[in-house]
Amino acid sequence: MKIGLVGGSYQQRSLPFNAQRTVNLFPIKDEGGKEVSALYGTAGKRLFANIGLGPIRQEFTSANGRFFAVSNSKLYEVDSLGASSELGSLDSSDGIVTMAENNTQLAICDGSKLYILTYSTNDFQKITIASFPTSVGIVTFIDGYFVVNENDTGRFYISGINDGLSSWDALDFATAESSPDNLVSVVNAIGQMWLFGSETTEVWTNTGDSLFPFRRISGAKMQTGILSAFTAVEIDNSVIWVGRDKLGQGIVYRAQGFTPVRISTTPIEILISHATDPTNMRSYVYQEEGNTFYVLTGGGLATTLVYDLLTQEWHERAYLNGDGNYETDLACCHAFAFGKHLVGDRRNGKIYEQSLDFYTDNGDLVSRKRIYTHLSDSGKRIRYNSLEIGFEAGVGLQTGQGSNPLVTLRLSKDGARTWSDAYTATIGAVGQYQQKIEFRRLGITEQMTFEIEITDPVKVAIIGSYLR
How would you classify residue 264: left for phi > 0, otherwise alpha for psi between -120 and 50, otherwise beta? beta
Q: Identify any residues that bridge with 288 across adjacent strands, giving them in sequence order.
A: 291
Torsion of CA 313, 314, 319, 320, to 10 degrees: -90
The CA distance from 43 to 330, in Å, is 12
Strands 313-320 and 326-328: antiparallel
Q: What is the pLDDT of residues 362-395, one digit of tens each?
A: 999 999 999 986 776 666 788 888 889 989 999 9
Amino acid at 254: R
Amino acid at 382: I
Domain assignments of the chain as residue spans, ordered by start? 2-42+368-467, 44-355
The pLDDT value recorded for residue 332 is: 98
Q: What are phi and psi of 270, to 5 degrees?
A: -65, -45
Confidence bin at 141 (pLDDT 50/70/90)? very high
Do 44-355 and 2-42+368-467 have the same topology in CATH?
A: no
The pLDDT value recorded for residue 442 is: 87
The pLDDT value recorded for residue 3 is: 61
The pLDDT value recorded for residue 35 is: 61
Q: What is the pLDDT of residues 247-280, one digit of tens each?
A: 999 999 999 999 999 999 988 999 999 999 999 9
CATH architecture observed for domain 2-42+368-467 = Sandwich (2.60)
The pLDDT value recorded for residue 37 is: 79
The CA distance from 185 to 173, in Å, is 15
The CA distance from 295 to 282, in Å, is 8
Q: Domain spanning 44-355 has what CATH number?
A: 2.130.10.10
Residue 16 pLDDT > 60? no
Is 65 in contact with 336 (CB distance < 8 Å)?
no
163 DSSP 8-state letter: B
Mean pLDDT of the 109-130 span: 97
Is 349 in contact with 50 (CB distance < 8 Å)?
yes
Least confident range from 120-134, 227-241, 389-403: namely 389-403
Q: Percent of the chain, pLDDT > 70?
A: 93
Is 97 in contact with 57 (CB distance < 8 Å)?
yes
The CA distance from 146 to 12, in Å, is 43
For residue 1, give the nearest of 373, 411, 420, 370 by alpha carbon.
Answer: 373
Residue 17 pLDDT > 50? no
The CA distance from 59 to 61, in Å, is 7
The CA distance from 343 to 350, in Å, is 9
Residue 407 pLDDT > 50? yes
